[in-house]
Amino acid sequence: MEKTLLEQYRPIAEQVVQTAREMITKGLAYGVAGNVSARLPDNRGLLITPSGKNYGKLTAEDLCFVDWQGQVLEGSPRPSSELAIHTATYQARPDCRGVVHTHSTFACALAVTRTAIPVFIDELMYVTGGPVRVAEYGFPGSPELAQNLVGALTDVQAALMANHGVIGLGDDLAEALHVCEVVEKISEVYINALKVGPIFELEGWVIERQRKAFLAKKARQRGQ
Ligand SMILES: [Zn+2]
């Protein structure tokens, strides 16, 4: 008998569950907010957390296998209502293998004021590869939101979504989660720094060098 998708992809399913739990324990999302997905290794679609499930009780059996048209192949019949931003991200970014979307507090404070994060701290470039832009507003779950988001994510690992939250992506789920964590921390620094005084953004030559270092790190990771 042919194996189920869950039997074939059990290790990646367990990673999705683990990442969703960590997203909650790290305080990046709460309740049923936020969602996590991974590209299937043979690129036949993605694996995503279900809609409305408390992540504390999430198991691999609760996840949804979905193809690139958004059709459920196996698992829970109700994938996350924010599925469109995940599928659009994987299609726009062939390098991306994991996506984490959170509603973390400080990043959301910037998202609701539609404030992009400039390159003002060394750590940002190494983790996100550039400034964190704000994708224009789109209704949650809509193709417009997905399209706006893709425009903000062309060459970086993170973006804010106007009046909504943050998205982080990576070569794997660990990177995607780390990106969300760093964006949250840097959002907190940014908001506090704005109270202290004017912020000095990094100079162009510094940003250029850091971007090169980021791209070199990515190439090493991918064995290029
Ligand atoms: Zn959301």
- Cβ contacts of 187 within 8 Å, gap of 6 or more: 104, 106, 107, 109, 110, 117
Class of the CATH domain delimited by 5-221 = alpha beta
Which H, E and C letters describe 22-81, residue by residue? HHHHCCCCCCCCCEEEEECCCCCCEEECECCCCHHHCCHHHCEEECCCCCEEEECCCECC
In angstroms, what is the span from residue 123 Cα to ligand 1's centroid?
A: 25
In angstroms, what is the span from residue 31 Cα to ligand 1's centroid?
A: 12
What is the rounded CA–CA span in Å between residue 207 and residue 118? 11
**What's the number of CA atoms in the CB half-sphere (13 Å) around residue 89?**
31
pLDDT digits (tens, 9 = 90+) for 208-217: 999 999 999 9
Q: How confident is the model at residue 17 (pLDDT cuts 50, 70, 90)?
A: very high
In angstroms, what is the span from residue 82 Cα to ligand 1's centroid?
A: 7
In angstroms, what is the span from residue 168 Cα to ligand 1's centroid?
A: 12
pLDDT digits (tens, 9 = 90+) for 171-204: 999 999 999 999 999 999 999 999 999 999 999 9
Amino acid 20: pLDDT: 96
Amino acid 118: pLDDT: 96
61 in active site? no
User: What is the percent of the chain with per-residue pLDDT over 90, rounded to a whole number?
Assistant: 90
What mean pLDDT comes out for the span 88-106?
Answer: 97
Phi, psi (degrees; rounded to nearest 5) at 58: -70, 140
Amino acid 32: pLDDT: 80
**What's the number of CA atoms in the CB half-sphere (13 Å) around residue 160?**
26
Q: Is 99 helix (H, G, I), strand (E, B) or coil?
A: strand
Mean pLDDT of the chain, nearest integer: 95
What mean pLDDT comes out for the span 4-10?
Answer: 96
φ/ψ region of 131 (left if φ > 0, alpha if ψ in -120 to 50, else beta) reads: beta
Question: Of the residues 82, 175, 181, 184, which is catalytic?
Answer: 82
Domain ranges for the chain? 5-221
At 206, which amino acid appears? V
In angstroms, what is the span from residue 109 Cα to ligand 1's centroid?
A: 14
Q: Which of 177, 187, 27 lies closest to 112 in space, CA to CA?
A: 187
Q: How confident is the model at residue 219 (pLDDT cuts 50, 70, 90)?
A: very high
